Amino acid sequence: MNGKSDVLVIGAGVIGCAIARELSKFKIKTTLLEKEVDVGSGVSKGNSGVLHTGLYYPKGSLKAKLCVEGRLMFPALAEQLDVPYRLCGKHVIARTEEELEDLENLKAVGEGNGVEGLTIISGEELKKRETRLDALYALYSPVAGIFPPYLFTIALAENALNNGVKVHVNTKVSAIKQENGGYKVTTNQGDFYADFVVNSAGLYADKISAMVGLDDYKLYPCRGEYLLLDKNCGDLISSMVYPVPPKIAGVLGVHLTPTLDGNVMIGPTEEFIDSREDTRTTKEKVQQLVEGAKDLLPSIPLNQIIYGFAAVRSKITPPNEKTSRDFIIQEDLENFINMIGMESPGLTSSPAIAKLIVQMIQKKMDLKEKTDFNPIRKRTKPVSEASRTEQAALIKADPEYGEIVCRCEHVSKREVLDALDNPISEKTVAAVKYRTRAGMGRCHGGFCLPKIVEILKEEYGIPPEEIKLKNLDSVLFIGKTKDLRESGQSE
């Protein structure tokens, strides 16, 4: 028996977590459900990690309004939640005189949406800022930023949890029924009851909506693939570099995004697919990314690729439609809010969406602010971000800081232990990766995996056959070394 909540949020992507955190400011019982074993397991971890400015969305749209609002809210929120970010700015580059008109149009749309500081600069000016880039003109947006989206999502969820929200991972909703003026939500972990339900299920929002009989929505899964360059590519670009967007609905074009750690991301692609779980990378799209990257930056060192990944967007815009449809955020049923088509700029908009949802709930429910809401959440200080003096102090206070588990990213055992002790996720290798960066570097887990296995065995008593990569079914090992021979299972 899971008890009754005032508000139940389905889906712990960045938007669901932002909503849960916003709701945790009030004297109500909030529950957050997530079908995967960790928060932010879908597109919230597989995106460019960009704080968008609001250049691309028609004036008056929810996308335009929430993107600009969310961006303005983000820095203060990031400070409270101890999420690193950098307002590195963004250049949309024009390679032909005709594209200058596109830049001017983007600038006009952006200014209409309230985007500050937009300027069109010459190719020479661009060259001074980005020495490796050749273009005739560029639209510069100084307020665009970058941050690790998974850290942000985790931080929101942890802060919500610390302020009383119940977070249930590995909890998949299978049915929703209106009952006694509220909702009964059936899951693989039993039934949940709530007065108010927020459907923040992202890629599955249409399916969740259909569970209450609202089956008019259809989402079109659209895969985006990325390539990641080694962090020694940090001096390639200092800002985000975008082409003029191709004339396809909602498509920004293959772009280059620096990361805080010095990597460069190439992507994403756009490909409508049949299966929502199909996060494969493909030969064709890798080739497209390579060519797109060379087109933007001919000197890009493609031998520095360390990883390829993909995630699936939830688009409400059908494949052949010319203009991208807006977010749908509405109370489609009494005390049931649907959020449909939450694609880009959903990450940037998430703080503003959370505010909007709370306002919508406030109209129906008396929300009293808590006096003891704690907006502050601290992550374990990464030893790699500390100065030498700070490192010395950290290790002196806690020797686990002196044991470096991940050699590529310089992640200490303290950080790994704290990631495994996190209050939300199962103890998977991925939970460590997304919290600490151990396994995100150029060896992609080669050196740290055996050490993490050792820690799971020694510190938590988890035998090898129970160690999971990313979810409960992604078993990493079959057992101990002699097991196959002794069990007679050998082939």
Partner 1 sequence: MSEFPCRDVDLVVVGAGPAGLAAAISAKKNGVQDLIVIERNDWLGGILPQCIHDGFGLELFKEQLTGPEYAQRYIDELKERGISCLLNSMVLEVTPEKKVFVASPEGLVCFNAKAVILAMGCRERTRGQICIPGTRPAGVFTAGVAQNLINLRNVMVGRNMVILGSGDIGLIMARRLTLEGAKVHAVVEILPHTNGLPRNIQQCLIDYDIPLLLSHTVTEIHGQNRVEAVTISPVDENLKPIEGKEKKIPCDTLLLSIGLIPENDLSKNFGVKLSPVTGGAVVDETLETSVPGVFACGNALHVHDVVDFVTLEAEQAGKSAAEYVLGKAQKAERVPVEAGDGVRYVLPYSIRRGVDVELSIRVTCPGENVSVGFFDGETLVKKKQFRKVHPAQMINIKLKGSKTVAVNALKVEVVGK
Query: 3-class SS at 395?
Result: helix
Which span sits near partner 1 by CB under 8 A: 57-65, 106-114, 141-149, 226-234?
Answer: 226-234
Dist. CA 346–CA 348, nearest whole Å: 6
Dist. CA 383–CA 397, nearest whole Å: 13
**Residue 391 interacting with partner 1 (CB under 8 A):** yes
Sorted by sequence, the CB contacts under 8 Å of residue 311 that are 6+ apart come out as 42, 43, 45, 46, 47, 223, 224, 268, 279
**Residue 426 interacting with partner 1 (CB under 8 A):** no
Minimum CB separation of residue 307 from partner 1 in Å reads 4
Which span sits near partner 1 by CB under 8 A: 4-12, 31-39, 78-86, 273-281?
Answer: 273-281
**Residue 274 interacting with partner 1 (CB under 8 A):** no
Minimum CB separation of residue 391 from partner 1 in Å reads 5
- Name the catalytic one among 52, 91, 168, 410: 52
Q: Are 26 and 20 in contact (CB under 8 A)?
A: no
**Residue 396 interacting with partner 1 (CB under 8 A):** yes
**Residue 433 interacting with partner 1 (CB under 8 A):** no
Helix pair angle (448-460, 413-420), 10° resolution: 60
How far separated are the first and last CA of the chain, in Å rounded? 46
63/427 with CB nearer partner 1: 427
Q: Is 183 exposed, middle or buried (0-12, 13-18, 19+ CB in 10 A)?
A: buried
> Which listed residue (305, 347, 356, 357) binds partner 1 by CB under 8 A?
305
Q: What angle do CA 422, 425, 428 make, to 5 degrees?
A: 100
Which span sits near partner 1 by CB under 8 A: 1-9, 103-111, 266-274, 390-398?
Answer: 390-398
**Residue 283 interacting with partner 1 (CB under 8 A):** yes
**Residue 294 interacting with partner 1 (CB under 8 A):** no
**Residue 172 interacting with partner 1 (CB under 8 A):** no
249/476 with CB nearer partner 1: 476
Dist. CA 449–CA 443, nearest whole Å: 10
DSSP β-ladder status, 50-51 and 173-179: unpaired
Q: Which residues pair with 29 in a beta bridge?
A: none
Minimum CB separation of residue 350 from partner 1 in Å reads 25
404/432 with CB nearer partner 1: 404
> Which listed residue (214, 248, 273, 476) binds partner 1 by CB under 8 A?
476
> Which listed residue (400, 418, 426, 466) binds partner 1 by CB under 8 A?
400
42/110 with CB nearer partner 1: 42
Dist. CA 486–CA 481, nearest whole Å: 10
Q: How many of the other CB atoms lie within 10 Å of CB of 38?
A: 25
Q: Is 462 exposed, middle or buried (0-12, 13-18, 19+ CB in 10 A)?
A: middle
- In the block, tokens 């090992």 appear at 477
Minimum CB separation of residue 207 from partner 1 in Å reads 18
> Which listed residue (87, 251, 365, 395) binds partner 1 by CB under 8 A?
395
Minimum CB separation of residue 94 from partner 1 in Å reads 30
> Which listed residue (125, 375, 402, 466) binds partner 1 by CB under 8 A?
402
Is 52 part of the annotated catalytic residue set? yes
Minimum CB separation of residue 279 from partner 1 in Å reads 7
Tokens of 106: 């983007």
Quote the DSSP letter at residue 379.
P
Q: Is 381 exposed, middle or buried (0-12, 13-18, 19+ CB in 10 A)?
A: middle
Which span sits near partner 1 by CB under 8 A: 150-158, 216-224, 280-288, 321-329?
Answer: 280-288
Tokens of 387: 């100065």
Q: Are 476 and 470 in contact (CB under 8 A)?
A: no
The 434-463 site mask, x for binding partner 1 (CB under 8 A), equals: --------xxxxxx-xx--xx--x------
Q: Is 175 exposed, middle or buried (0-12, 13-18, 19+ CB in 10 A)?
A: exposed
36/343 with CB nearer partner 1: 36
Q: How many residues bind partner 1 (CB under 8 A)?
A: 65
**Residue 427 interacting with partner 1 (CB under 8 A):** no
Measured between alpha carbons, how far is residue 16 from residues 20, 154, 205, 240 in Å? 6, 11, 12, 27
DSSP β-ladder status, 4-10 and 30-33: parallel
> Which listed residue (232, 330, 359, 362) binds partner 1 by CB under 8 A?
232
Which span sits near partner 1 by CB under 8 A: 80-88, 195-203, 337-345, 408-416?
Answer: 408-416
Q: What are phi and psi of 199, to 5 degrees?
A: -90, 100
**Residue 247 interacting with partner 1 (CB under 8 A):** no
Minimum CB separation of residue 442 from partner 1 in Å reads 8
Minimum CB separation of residue 372 from partner 1 in Å reads 37
Contact residues for partner 1, defined by CB under 8 A: 227-228, 232, 277, 279-283, 286, 305-309, 383, 388-389, 391-393, 395-396, 399-404, 407-408, 410, 412, 442-447, 449-450, 453-454, 457, 464, 468-471, 473-485, 489-491
Q: State the catalytic residues.
A: 52
